[in-house]
Chains A and B, each alone.
Chain A
Amino acid sequence: MSTLKNSVRPDLQTICEWIKPRSRILDLGCGDGTLLAMLKKERDVNGYGLEIEISNIVKCVNANVNVIQADLNAGLSGFDDNAFDYVVMTQALQAVERPDRLLNDMLRVGREGIVTFPNFGHFRSRLQLFFGGHMPVTPSLPSKWFNTQNIHLCTLQDFEQLCIESKIQILQRTVVDRDHRTGLGMKLFPNLLGEVAIYRIKNH
Chain B
Amino acid sequence: MPDTLPEDSIGIVTSQTMHFDTSLALTCGRRLDSYDIIYETYGTLNADHSNAILICHALSSDHHAAGYNSMDDRKPGWWETCIGPGKVIDTNHFFVVCINNLGGCKGSTGPASINHDTNKPYGPDFPIVTVKDWVESQARFADKLNIKTWLAVIGGSLGGMQVLQWNIDFPERVKHAAVIAAAPKLTAQNIGFNEVARQAIMHDVDFHEGRYYEHNTAPRRGLMLARMLGHITYLSDDAMREKFGRELRQGKISYGFDVDFQVESYLRYQGESFVDRFDANTYLLMTKALDYFDPAADYDDDLSKALSHARANFLVISFSSDWRFAPERSREIVKALQDNDRDICYAEIEVPHGHDAFLIPIKDYLDVFGAWMKHLVSEVSA
* Residues of A near any B CB (own CB < 8 A): 24, 46, 48, 54, 57-58, 60-62, 64, 66-70, 78-80, 83
Assess whether B331 is in contact with A61, with CB atoms less than 8 Å apart. no
Whether A57 and B345, one on each chain, are in contact in the complex, defined by CB atoms closer than 8 angstroms, is: yes
Task: Report yes or no: B343 in contact with A54, Cβ–Cβ below 8 A.
Answer: no
- Interface flags for B311-355 (1: CB within 8 Å of A; 0: not) read 000000000000000000001001100110101111111100000
Complex interface: chain B residues within 8 A of A83 (CB): 339
Question: Is B238 positioned at the interface, with any CB of A under 8 Å from its CB?
Answer: no
Q: Which residues on B sit within 8 Å (CB–CB) of A57? A: 345, 347, 368
- B375 contacts which of A48, A54, A64, A70 (Cβ < 8 Å)? A64
Q: Does B214 contact A (CB under 8 A)?
A: no
Tally of contact residues, B, Cβ under 8 A: 21
Indicate if the CB atoms of B345 and A60 lie closer than 8 Å: yes
Chain A residue at minimum C-beta to C-beta distance from B348: A69
Q: How far is the CA of A48 from the CA of B316 in the complex (A)?
A: 14
Q: Looking at the assembled complex, report how far the CB atom of A69 sits from the nearest CB atom of chain B, in whole angstroms.
A: 5
Report how far A70 CA is from B344 CA in the complex, Å.
13
Q: Are B368 and A61 in contact, with the CB atoms below 8 A?
A: yes
Taking a contact as CB atoms under 8 Å apart, the answer to whether B344 and A78 are in contact is no
Q: Hey, which chain A residues are within 8 Å of B347, CB to CB?
A: 54, 57, 69
Contact check, A58 vs B371: say whether CB atoms are below 8 A apart: yes
User: Which partner residue on chain B sits nearest A68 by CB separation?
Assistant: B346
Closest to B327 in A: A69
The 5 closest A-B pairs by CB, nearest first: A61-B371, A68-B346, A54-B364, A69-B348, A58-B371
Q: How many A-B residue pairs have CB under 8 A?
A: 46
Task: Give 19 new A-B contacts, CB below 8 A, not counting A48-B338, A67-B344, A78-B331.
Answer: A54-B347, A54-B349, A54-B350, A54-B367, A57-B345, A57-B347, A58-B368, A60-B345, A61-B345, A61-B368, A61-B375, A62-B371, A66-B345, A67-B346, A69-B346, A69-B347, A78-B335, A80-B339, A83-B339
Residues of B contacting A80 in the complex (Cβ-Cβ under 8 angstroms): 339
A193 CB, min distance to chain B CBs, angstroms: 40
B372 within 8 Å of A (CB atoms) = yes
A48 to B375 CA separation, bound complex (whole angstroms):
18
- How far is A57 from B315 in the complex, measured between Cα atoms in Å? 12
Can you list 26 A-B contacts with CB-CB less than 8 angstroms, sorted by A residue number? A24-B341, A46-B341, A54-B347, A54-B349, A54-B364, A54-B368, A57-B345, A58-B367, A58-B371, A60-B345, A61-B345, A61-B368, A61-B371, A61-B375, A62-B371, A62-B374, A64-B375, A66-B343, A66-B345, A67-B344, A68-B334, A68-B338, A68-B344, A69-B346, A69-B347, A70-B348
Closest B residue, CB atoms, query A54: B364
Residues of B whose CB lies within 8 Å of any CB of A are: 331, 334-335, 338-339, 341, 343-350, 364, 367-368, 371-372, 374-375
Chain B residue numbers with a CB within 8 Å of A66 are 343-345
Q: Closest CB of chain A to B292's CB: distance in Å?
A: 26
Q: Max chain B CB contacts within 10 Å: which of A57, A60, A64?
A: A57
Residue among B335, B338, B345, B350 with max Cβ neighbours from chain A (10 Å): B345
List, in ascending order, chain B residues with CB within 8 A of A61's CB.
345, 368, 371-372, 375
Main secondary structure of the interface of A (DSSP, over half): mixed
A48 to B331, CA, bound (A): 14
CB distance from A134 to the nearest CB of B (A): 35
A57 to B341, CA, bound (A): 19
Assembly CA distance A68 to B334 (angstroms): 8
Which chain A residue lies CB-closest to B316?
A68
Residues on A with C-beta less than 8 A from B372 are 61
Closest to A24 in B: B341
Which A residues are CB-close (under 8 A) to B364? 54
Q: Which residues of A contact B368 (CB under 8 A)?
A: 54, 57-58, 61
Cross-chain contact A67 with B331 (CB below 8 angstroms):
no
Q: In whole angstroms, what is the CA distance A78 to B371 when docked?
A: 26
Residues of A within 8 A of B345 (CB): 57, 60-61, 66-68
Chain A residues whose CB sits within 8 angstroms of the CB of B339 once the complex forms: 80, 83
Chain A: CB-nearest residue to B314:
A66
Min C-beta distance of B95 to chain A, whole Å: 23
Instruction: For residue A36, give the distance in angstroms from its CB to the closest CB of chain B.
Output: 12
Tell me, in angstroms, the Cα distance from A61 to B373 when the chains sit together.
10
What is the distance, in angstroms, from A83's C-beta to the closest C-beta of chain B?
8
Q: What B residues does A46 contact at CB under 8 A?
A: 341
Residue in A46, A48, A66, A80 whose Cβ sees the most chain B Cβ within 10 Å = A66
CA of A60 to CA of B375 in the docked complex: distance in angstroms? 12
Bound-state CA distance A119–B92 (Å) is: 52
Q: How far is the CA of A89 from the CA of B345 in the complex (A)?
A: 19
Q: Which residue of B lies closest to A80 (CB)?
A: B339
How far is B334's CA from A83's CA once the two chains are assembled, in angstroms?
14
Q: Which residue of A lies closest to B342 (CB)?
A: A66
The residue of chain B having its C-beta at the shortest distance from the C-beta of A48 within the complex is B338
CA distance A83 to B350 in the complex (A): 28
A48 partner residues in chain B, CB cutoff 8 A: 338, 344
Query: A70 to nearest B CB, angstroms?
Result: 8
Give A64's nearest chain B residue, CB to CB: B375
- Docked Cα-Cα span, A28 to B119, in Å, equals 63
CB proximity of B53 to chain A, nearest CB, Å: 18
A30: min CB distance to chain B, Å: 12
Chain A residue contacts of B331, Cβ below 8 A: 78
Q: How far is the CA of A48 from the CA of B344 in the complex (A)?
A: 8
Question: Nearest Cβ in chain A — how far from B138, in angstroms?
Answer: 27
Q: Give the docked Cα–Cα distance between A58 and B363 (Å).
A: 11
